[in-house]
Amino acid sequence: MDFFDGSAPGWHALAILVLPLLGFAFNAFTCRTAFTRTRGHVVPLLAMGVALYCSLAIFKHAVIDYEPPARAAAGEQAAPAGGSLADPRWRWSSRDHGMSATVIDTGDLRVEAGITIDHLTATMLVVVTIVAFLVHLYSVGYMHGDLRFSRFFAFLQLFSFSMLGLILTDNLLLLFCFWELVGVCSYFLIGFWFEQEEPPKASIKAFMTNRFGDVGFLIGILIVGRLFGTFDLAELYARLQAVAEGSAQLPPLFGWSAGALLTVAGLCLFLGPMAKSAQVPLHVWLPDAMAGPTPVSALIHAATMVAAGVYMVGRIYFFFTPAVLAVIAGIGAVTALVAASIGLVHHNIKKVLAYSTCSQLGYMMLALGVGGYAAGLFHLYTHAFFKACLFLGAGSVIHAVHTEDMRQMGGLRQKMPVTYRTFLVATLALAGVPFLSGAFSKEMIVEHAILWGMHGNVAQWLPALVAIFGGGLTFFYMLRLMYLTFYGAPRDPRRFEHAHESPGTMTTPLVLLAVLSVVSVDWLPIPLFRGKTMPELLQPPPALASIVTGHAPEHGHAGLLLAFVVLVISVAVLLAGYTLYTRTYKRREPGPEAWVARFARTHRVLTNLYWFDEFYQATVVRLGSAASRAFTTFDVRAIDAAVNGVGRTGEAFAWFWGAFDRVVIDGLVNVWWHLSHAVSRMLRRIQTGNLQDYLAFAVGGMALVTLMFLFLS
């Protein structure tokens, strides 16, 4: 089996999958021993380190050592001449090497799952393992002294396993399983400090909201299964390709056309990422999820889990019809704008970062919707680095001043220099300051959005406008956050007194992530990547679904002119944001209070988070509670009554038989006793001890015998 071939990625992929699971098992089984109370991080760190090495090895094999057969320019997507719509991208599948597991095997349905690796997988693996490893390292310092230290690491490991499995799998059903598993780990980790009031509520809210999206996801998967008869991604591609080429037909469900069916399936499938990646309107769980420990926020709710939705859209990209893509772009745009607007008014440092994440996820969905496949995914990777850095930095600040409220911070720049500097770098990367990684990805997004607008109707300009305007908003609220936290005079002198820089285990990941935020660009380390750019690596698959519906998409060419225009626009927007910031906060003309007063009604809407939570509470939650109460009543009255009835019947039965046993059976036995006693008492009277009585009895007996002889003969 050339699975064992050292150059093939098979062993590495298996190691990546298995090691975190072993780490979880180890920690789970030893979490009560003294060893793990202070050293529970050793095995997980080791596991993640090896996994990181393996993913780098896979990346090297898949990306760096790979020679593409033809260098297509970025953006070219149409069917190549010759008519074949085969997926031109490189892929390694464990099934070709005989390594697959049969998950389901009924007579009608057979699901086999294996590992698949292509460029998307390889790059995602690297990002996820780097961030996960750094978060593990950071947690050693952050969770130091916590009572459930080793259990935290166990959950982190379980999460890592699920996320990596989600990335590696080649089967929609297994992807769904890992999807759910990731949600479960999120539930565990958000509610880690379950003694407090907030975390349990937040974890349930997160889980429920995700569940809601997952229902749609599952329906979509089932529709796909019904349409194509398979859940395997490669198979799906092949069959959709056959339909697009005209050599196969989709079964007509409900009498709808193929395009309509695909659109419906695509929309249902998109519900999953809508919940998992916190798109409006299913974004309500993400801010509350900040109740969990900060490493959790960094790992799950910034870099990896919420990115799983974006990743999944990228995986099934060939499946989405233009209608679905337009919907994705629209929702992404709305999310980007709404979340950024809310981030302007919050005082909780983690909540601002949470809304920032939500907004950036909107950007990614927007990018994927307008056709910027590489742009969206690249933004995912860069965002992972700088957002993780921002969250870990926030965690460092919280660790120092023991509060999350920015109104009690200020002036921490002097006290926590390392944290401050890394935070600054990450902020600039997030905002898209030129030459940092975030700028490259953001500008790619804007380019594609403009192209989409140019080649479509007027409404298709909206995403571009949102992207540009949102950039300014982003810069502004991040500057505000920095000001409130690090600059100016300290607002709470006592907290400021106690503040100190965090230990090495916490600052090292910060520094590393900041460096990555700078260098993870698409063209800088040429010697390392052998001159391949990100768009070349992340080529989108042929748009089969579009062909099926009859609109072959036309995308313009993103040339240097457009790039230059976008650069100019972005810089202008950044300057505008910076100017607003200095005027409001540095020079106070007018200050923030004046702005609040002038836009009081808007401010109220923003502070109340657009009343999404209240809406859900009034509708879904009340319905759910009512249904739950109804079912509980039924259960108690009907089912429990039935069970109790059976129990009482059994009791009565038992009582009856007991009585029967006592009275009748024992009575029968006792009767003999009484009988024999009575008879014996009667017979004993013969033994009088009196000689004459005995003689009398003898004679009487003789007389009786004589009588008998006389009368019976």
Rounded-to-integer distance, Cα 138 and Cα 507, Å: 8
Binding mask 499-538 for other proteins (x = CB under 8 A): ----------------------------------------
Q: How far is CA 168 from CA 67, 122, 240, in A?
A: 22, 9, 22
Rounded-to-integer distance, Cα 665 and Cα 672, Å: 11
Q: Is residue 707 close enough to count as binding other proteins by CB under 8 A?
A: yes
CB of 687 to other proteins, least distance (A): 5
CB of 683 to other proteins, least distance (A): 9
CB of 676 to other proteins, least distance (A): 15
> In the complex with other proteins, which residue's Cβ is closer, 618 or 707?
707
Pick from 554, 614, 640, 693: which binds other proteins (CB under 8 A)?
A: 693
CB of 701 to other proteins, least distance (A): 9
Pick from 82, 255, 527, 689: which binds other proteins (CB under 8 A)?
A: 689
> In the complex with other proteins, which residue's Cβ is closer, 587 or 681?
681
Q: Is residue 692 close enough to count as binding other proteins by CB under 8 A?
A: yes
Tell me, by CB under 8 A, how many residues bind other proteins.
19
Pair of tokens at residue 422? 């890394």
Of 506, 533, 535, 524, the C-alpha closest to 388 is: 506
Helical segments of 344-416, H only: 349-369, 373-401, 412-415
> In the complex with other proteins, which residue's Cβ is closer, 601 or 684?
684
CB of 678 to other proteins, least distance (A): 15
Question: In this chain, which stretch among 352-360, 376-384, 670-678, 702-710 interacts with other proteins, using CB under 8 A?
Answer: 702-710
Pick from 108, 691, 712, 713: which binds other proteins (CB under 8 A)?
A: 691
Pick from 78, 524, 618, 699: which binds other proteins (CB under 8 A)?
A: 699
Question: In this chain, which stretch among 44-52, 156-164, 555-563, 699-707 interacts with other proteins, using CB under 8 A?
Answer: 699-707
- Residue by residue, what is the 3-state secondary structure of 243-308? HHHCCCCCCCCCCCCHHHHHHHHHHHHHHHHHHHCCCCCCCCHHHHHHHCCHHHHHHHHHHCHHHH
- For the segment 667-686, give every residue that binds other proteins (CB under 8 A): 684-685
Cis peptide before 590 (omega within 30 of 0): yes
CB of 698 to other proteins, least distance (A): 8
Q: What is the CA radius of gyration of the chain?
A: 37
**Helix, strand, coil fractions of the chain, as percent rounded to 5:** 75, 5, 25
Cis peptide before 281 (omega within 30 of 0): yes
> In the complex with other proteins, which residue's Cβ is closer, 632 or 706?
706
Question: In this chain, which stretch among 423-431, 472-480, 481-489, 695-703 interacts with other proteins, using CB under 8 A?
Answer: 695-703
> In the complex with other proteins, which residue's Cβ is closer, 561 or 710?
710
Q: Measured in whole angstroms, how far is the alpha carbon of residue 386 from the centre of its chain?
A: 20
Question: In this chain, which stretch among 279-287, 393-401, 494-502, 704-712 interacts with other proteins, using CB under 8 A?
Answer: 704-712
Of 258, 309, 264, 261, the C-alpha closest to 286 is: 309
Pick from 560, 561, 669, 710: which binds other proteins (CB under 8 A)?
A: 710
> In the complex with other proteins, which residue's Cβ is closer, 34 or 691?
691
Pick from 7, 102, 247, 687: which binds other proteins (CB under 8 A)?
A: 687
> In the complex with other proteins, which residue's Cβ is closer, 623 or 707?
707
Q: Measured in whole angstroms, how far is the alpha carbon of residue 419 from the centre of its chain?
A: 28
> In the complex with other proteins, which residue's Cβ is closer, 649 or 676?
676
Q: Measured in whole angstroms, how far is the alpha carbon of residue 410 from the centre of its chain?
A: 34
Question: In this chain, which stretch among 150-158, 361-369, 405-413, 703-711 interacts with other proteins, using CB under 8 A?
Answer: 703-711
Segment holding 104, helix H or strand E: strand 101-105
Helical segments of 553-599, H only: 560-581, 592-598
Q: Is residue 703 close enough to count as binding other proteins by CB under 8 A?
A: yes
Question: In this chain, which stretch among 486-494, 551-559, 607-615, 696-704 interacts with other proteins, using CB under 8 A?
Answer: 696-704
Q: Is residue 636 close enough to count as binding other proteins by CB under 8 A?
A: no
Amino acid residing at 460:
Q
> In the complex with other proteins, which residue's Cβ is closer, 628 or 688?
688
Q: For the range 30-33, what are the long-range contacts, defined as Cβ-Cβ under 8 Å and sequence gap of 24 or more?
A: 30/150, 31/148, 31/150, 31/151, 31/154
Segment holding 17, helix H or strand E: helix 10-30
Question: Would you give the end-to-end CA distance of the chain in angstroms?
Answer: 111
CB of 674 to other proteins, least distance (A): 19
What single DSSP character describes residue 618? I
CB of 706 to other proteins, least distance (A): 4
CB of 677 to other proteins, least distance (A): 14
- For the segment 66-105, give every residue that binds other proteins (CB under 8 A): none
Angle between helix axes 149-168 and 10-30 (nearest 10 degrees) is: 160
> In the complex with other proteins, which residue's Cβ is closer, 619 or 706?
706
> In the complex with other proteins, which residue's Cβ is closer, 594 or 703?
703
Q: Is the Cα dihedral 243, 245, 247, 252 positive or negative? A: positive
Question: In this chain, which stretch among 198-206, 208-216, 557-565, 688-696 interacts with other proteins, using CB under 8 A?
Answer: 688-696
Pick from 106, 247, 690, 713: which binds other proteins (CB under 8 A)?
A: 690
Q: Measured in whole angstroms, how far is the alpha carbon of residue 634 from the centre of its chain?
A: 34
Binding mask 613-632 for other proteins (x = CB under 8 A): --------------------
Q: Is residue 587 close enough to count as binding other proteins by CB under 8 A?
A: no
Contacts of 26 (CB under 8 A, 6+ apart): 43
CB of 693 to other proteins, least distance (A): 4
CB of 644 to other proteins, least distance (A): 59
CB 87 within 8 A of CB 21: no
Amino acid residing at 279:
Q
Binding mask 317-336 for other proteins (x = CB under 8 A): --------------------
Of 382, 386, 384, 418, the C-alpha closest to 399 is: 418
> In the complex with other proteins, which residue's Cβ is closer, 7 or 687?
687
CB of 671 to other proteins, least distance (A): 24
How many residues in total does the chain contain?
713
Angle between helix axes 305-315 and 258-276 (nearest 10 degrees) is: 160
The residue with tokens 């800088």 is: 524
Give the three-state DSSP class for 417: helix
> In the complex with other proteins, which residue's Cβ is closer, 1 or 691?
691
> In the complex with other proteins, which residue's Cβ is closer, 678 or 707?
707
Residues that bind other proteins (CB under 8 A): 684-685, 687-693, 695-697, 699-700, 703-704, 706-707, 710
